[in-house]
Amino acid sequence: MNIVLNEELSQISLLFVSAAMGFLSVALLLFAFQLAKLKDDPTETRFEKVGFWVLGVATLVLAVGVFLRGIAANRVPWANMYEFAISSALMILTIYLMSLKVKGIGSVATFVTGFTLVTLFAAVSLFYVEVKTIMPALQSYWLVIHVVVAIMAVGFFAIAAGFHIFYLIKDAGWGGVIMSRMPDLKQLERIAYRFNMVGFVSWSFTLIAGAIWAERAWHRYWGWDTKEVWTFIIWVVYAGYLHAMATRGWSGRRAAWLGLIGFGAVIFNFVIVNLFFKGLHVYSGL
Amino acid sequence: MALAAVPGSVYPQRSADPNGVRLYFSQQPELAAVLDSLQLFDVYTSVWFSAIYILLFVSLVGCVIPRTKVHYNALRAKPVKTPELLTRMPVHQIGSKRVSLEAAREVLKQRGFRVAVQGNSVSAEKGYLKETGNLVFHYSLLAVLIAVGVGGGFSYSGQRVLVEGETFVNNLASYDAFSPGPLFFEEELQPYSLTLNKFNVLYDLQNPANLGQPIDFIAEVTVSTTQETSEGIVRVNHPLPVPGANVYLTGNGFAPVITVRDGEGNVAYTGPVVYLPQDGNMTSIGVIKVPDANPEQIGMISFFYPTVTELESGAYTSIYPDPIDPLLTFNVYTGDLGLDSGIPRNVYALDVSDMELVAGRDAPNPALELRIGESAALPNGLGTVSFDGLLRFASLDVAFNPGGIWVLIFSFIALFAVVISLSVVRRRVWVRIGDERIEYAGLARGDDEQLEQIVTEIKEEIEGRSA
C-alpha cells in the first residue's frame, strides 16, 4: 500500500486558507460598517450586500484550501485539530450562506464572520501540523460519516449561538439604536431554536454513529472515554434547551443561556479536551 | 446529569485508564484516597452517579406514563368544542363570502385535520404526531437504558495474547484477562479454537515526515469450530466474527524466541517471550524467568530494539519499528524468583528483592547483547542464552454484548421520533358560520409563525369551493 503525502501541496492549501482569512476580514469590516450605518438609515443595505459577496468568495477560497489539504494528505481533511478546525469553519460558512433566505439571518453576519475568522486564526497559528497518515483505528468510512455530521452539528450550533448572544444583548437593553433595529426578541429566539433543532438532531446522529464505530474499533459501543463523556454532556445540555423551549416560562433568557452553555461545551470539547485531557480520541496531532 | 459526568473526564477512570489511577495514587496518595472515597475514579459506576440516573429513569417513567394516558384519550376524543369567543384566538379572520359547513369540513379533512361539525361550526385539529413522536422518543430512551443494563449484564470481554503459531481454545482458562457482566454464564462461550498464523504490520517508509507511522495491522488466523475450519483476517476496525462473539485486534508487539541452558547444559527454557512495546519505534521490554535452572534460578530483564542505534550516552534506542537491525540486551539476575511460595506473580514483571544483579549496567559484568542466531554465555557459569528467532504477537479481545444491537435500534427509533416531534406542529382551526359573520380562527401549541398564513389559505380554499 502506497500513500503519498504532499507537504508542498499542503503549504499551498495553507495559502488558500490564509487568503480566505483576508477575505473574511474584509467581510467583517463591511458587516461592521453596516451595523454602524443602521443607526442613521435602516433602509441602507449596500454594505451588507457587498459583505455577503465577499463572504461568498471567502467561502470558495477556503473550500479550495480544505480540498487541497485533503489531496495533500490523500484522505478526508478532518483527521486532526487543524483539519477539523478549517473544515468546521468551511461548514459554518456554507450553512450560513445557504440559510440567507431565512428572514433576520443577516443580523448575525458579524458574529459568524468573526467566529470563523478566529477559528481559522487558531487553526493556522496554533494547530497546524504537517500532513500525516492516520492510525489504523481511524481508517474507516465512519471517519467520513461520524465526523462530517459532527462538523455539521457544530455549524448549526455556532450560528444559533450568534442569535443567543444578540438575544441576550437586546434583552439586557444594551446596544441602543442599533439593537432596536435588529429583529425582535421573538424572532431571534425562533431562528436560534430552528438552528439548534437541526444541530441537536445531527449531534444525536453523530453520537449514534460514533457508538457504532467504537463498537467496531474498540470492541465496545460506549466506554466513557473523555470525548464520549463530553459528547454526552453536550447532548444533555441541548436536550435541556429543547425542553426549556417547550416548557412555558423557561423559554427566553434561560433557554438562551442554556444554548450558549451548550455551545461553550462544544468549544471546550474541541479545544480543551483535545489538548489537555487523556483519552482515545486524542488526535490533535500536536 | 451533565454536570455529574464532568469529573469522569477530569480524573482518570479505572475502567478506561487504570494506569492513570495508579499514577495518581503514587504521586498524590492523600488526595487520591480522598478522591477515591468519593468514587471519583469510578464515576460511572459510583453510587451517586447511579442515583442520578435512577432518579432520571424514575422521573422519566413518572412523566411519560400519565402523558401517554392523556394522549391516548386525546387520540380517541373528538376535536374540542368550538370556543364561544373565537376573537380571542391568536389568529382570527372574518370571511368575506358565504360558505357552507360542508365545504369547510371537506377542505379541513383534505388537509389532514381531524374534523367535527358542531352546530354552526367546524372544529378541527391536526398534528397529533407531535405528541406521539415525543412519547415514542422518551420510551425509546427508556428502552436504550434497559438494553444497556441488560446487555451489559450478559456481556463479556476477554483478552488473550497470541504469538504467531499459537492456538487459543475458547474457554475461561485460556484468557489472560476476562471481565464478565454480572449475568454472564459460562455456556455463553461457544467451542472454537483460533490460531494466529501470521501477523503483518505495514509502516510508512515513503514519506519523510511520516516515517514509521503504522499504516495497517493484519492478523491472519484460522478458526476451527466443531463443524468447520476457516481462514480469516482480523484488522483494526474490522473485527472477525467467531461463534458467539467478535474478535478484535487491540495490540501487537514482538516475541523473540529465546533458549536458556543452565550451568549443567540442560535446556531450562525455550520458546517465544512476549515483549511489551514501550514506544512508537517498538523498543520493548521482556521478562524471562527460569525457575528450573540449576544450580541457581535465573531471571532476566531484556530489552528489544527492532532497529537499534546507539545514543551519545551509550544507551541504545530503536529508530524504526520494523526489525531492520534487531538487537536484544539482557540484565541478568540470580537468586530466588519468588515463584515457589505459591503467590501469583505478574509474568511481565521481575521481583528482584531476593535476587542479585550479575550482568547489566552497574553490575560486575556488562549486559549481554544478542543478534538473531547468536548465543552468549551467562556470567559465573550460570549457562548460556540464545536468540533463535523473531516472531510477532497480537493482543486479541474477544467481546460479546447482546444489548448493542437493541441499543442501536432504539437509538435510531428515538432519533426518528424526535425528528417527527420537532417538525410536526399541532394546530387547531375553527370555522363558524354565524348569522352575521363567518369566522375563521387558529391556535397552535407553542410558537408557530405560519399559523396566520395557513388560516388564510384555508379560508380562501373554502370560499373557492363554495363559489
Query: For residues B54, B56, B59 and B65, what is the CA-based torsion angle, rounded to 10 degrees?
Result: -90
For B435, residues 6+ apart whose C-beta sits below 8 A from its C-beta are none
Position A70 scores a pLDDT of 93
**CB nearest to A130's CB, from B1, B209, B415:** B209
Position A284 scores a pLDDT of 58
For B199, residues 6+ apart whose C-beta sits below 8 A from its C-beta are B164, B217, B218, B219, B220, B252, B392, B393, B394
Contact status, residue B144 vs residue B411, Cβ threshold 8 Å: yes
Inter-chain touch A136–B204, beta carbons under 8 Å = no
Instruction: Provide the 3-class DSSP secondary structure of residue B87.
Output: helix
B340 or A66, which is more confident? Answer: A66
The candidate with the shortest Cα–Cα distance to B199, out of B166, B243, B230, is: B166
Position B377 scores a pLDDT of 92
pLDDT band at B1 (very low <50, low <70, confident <90, very high): low
Residue by residue, what is the 3-state secondary structure of B113-179? CEEEEECCEEEEEECHHHHHHHHHHHHHHHHHHHHHHHHHHHCEEEEEEEECCCEEECCHHHCCEEE
* Distance of alpha carbon B306 from alpha carbon A262, whole angstroms: 48
| Same domain assignment for residues A282 and A157 | yes
Instruction: For residue range B30-79, list pLDDT tens digits in order.
Output: 888 888 877 777 777 777 777 887 888 888 888 899 999 999 998 888 88
Inter-chain touch A136–B236, beta carbons under 8 Å = yes
- Is it true that the peptide bond before B191 is cis, omega within 30 degrees of 0? no
pLDDT band at B467 (very low <50, low <70, confident <90, very high): low
Last residue of a domain, one of A80, A101, A134: A134
| The dihedral sign for the CA sequence A26, A29, A35, A37 | negative
Alpha-carbon gap: A81 to the closest alpha carbon of chain B (Å): 17
* Distance of alpha carbon A69 from alpha carbon A201, whole angstroms: 29
Position A7 scores a pLDDT of 85
| The dihedral sign for the CA sequence B351, B356, B362, B365 | negative
Helix and strand counts by DSSP (H, E) for chain A: 9, 0
Instruction: For residue range B127-136, list pLDDT tens digits in order.
Output: 999 999 999 9
| Same domain assignment for residues A28 and A93 | yes
Mean pLDDT of all residues in B156-164: 94
Helix axes of A141-171 and A253-276: crossing angle, nearest 10 degrees: 140
Inter-chain touch A136–B237, beta carbons under 8 Å = yes
Alpha-carbon gap: A8 to the closest alpha carbon of chain B (Å): 12
Kindly report the length of chain B: 467
Last residue of a domain, one of A116, A134, A152: A134
Instruction: From chain B, pick out residues whose CB is under 8 angstroms from the CB of A226.
Output: 9
ipTM, 2 dp: 0.89
B295 or B2, which is more confident? Answer: B295
* Distance of alpha carbon B34 from alpha carbon B36, whole angstroms: 5
For residue A10, the Cα-to-chain-centroid distance in whole angstroms is 22
Q: Residues of CATH 3.30.310.80 domain(s) within chain B?
A: 88-127+426-467
Distances (CA, A) of B234 to A254, B106, B217, B371, B395: 51, 63, 8, 31, 11
Kindly report the length of chain A: 286
Instruction: For residue range B403-425, list pLDDT tens digits in order.
Output: 999 999 999 999 999 999 998 98
pLDDT band at B318 (very low <50, low <70, confident <90, very high): very high
* Distance of alpha carbon B129 from alpha carbon B116, whole angstroms: 19
Give per-10-residue mean pLDDT for chain A (286 aa): 78 95 96 83 82 96 96 89 94 95 89 96 91 82 92 96 94 80 86 95 95 89 85 92 83 91 93 75 60
Instruction: For residue range A88-106, list pLDDT tens digits in order.
Output: 999 999 999 999 988 888 8
Whole-number average pLDDT of chain B: 88
Instruction: Provide the 3-class DSSP secondary structure of residue B444.
Output: strand
Instruction: From chain B, pick out residues whose CB is under 8 angstroms from the CB of A229.
Output: 5-6, 8-9
The CATH number covering residue A75 comes to: 1.20.120
A17-21, A67-71, B3-7, B313-317: the lowest-pLDDT one: B3-7
Inter-chain touch B209–A232, beta carbons under 8 Å = no
For residue B126, the Cα-to-chain-centroid distance in whole angstroms is 42
Instruction: Provide the 3-class DSSP secondary structure of residue B294.
Output: coil
Distances (CA, A) of B379 to B260, B288, B331: 13, 16, 11
| Same domain assignment for residues A52 and A147 | no
| Same domain assignment for residues A205 and A278 | yes
* Distance of alpha carbon A94 from alpha carbon A85, whole angstroms: 14
A32-46, B223-237, B268-282, B314-328: the lowest-pLDDT one: A32-46
Contact status, residue B367 vs residue B327, Cβ threshold 8 Å: no
What superfamily in CATH does domain B88-127+426-467 come from? Kinase associated domain 1, KA1 (3.30.310.80)
Contact status, residue A240 vs residue B1, Cβ threshold 8 Å: no
| Same domain assignment for residues A33 and A106 | yes
State which residues form the domain around A155. Answer: 137-286
| Same domain assignment for residues A113 and A240 | no
Instruction: From chain A, pick out residues whose CB is under 8 angstroms from the CB of B239.
Output: 216, 219
| Same domain assignment for residues A224 and A113 | no
For residue B92, the Cα-to-chain-centroid distance in whole angstroms is 55
pLDDT band at B28 (very low <50, low <70, confident <90, very high): confident
Inter-chain touch B214–A140, beta carbons under 8 Å = no
A44-58, A65-79, B266-280, B351-365: the lowest-pLDDT one: B351-365
- Residue B449 pLDDT greater than 60, yes or no: yes
Query: Which chain B residue has its CA at the smallest distance from A129's CA?
Result: B209
Contact status, residue B129 vs residue B61, Cβ threshold 8 Å: no
DSSP B346-397: -TT----TTEEEEESTTSSBPPEEE-TT-EEEEGGGTEEEEEEEEEEEEEEE
Exposure string for A183-214, b = 16+ CB within 10 A, e = fewer: bebebbbbbbbbbbbbbbbbbbbbbbbbbbbb
Query: Which chain A residue has its CA at the smallest distance from B138's CA?
Result: A239
Domain count, chain A: 2
Q: Which of residues 178-217 of B touch A (CB under 8 A)?
A: 202, 204, 206-207, 209-210, 213-217
Inter-chain touch B411–A211, beta carbons under 8 Å = yes
| Same domain assignment for residues A87 and A224 | no
Last residue of a domain, one of A119, A134, A149: A134
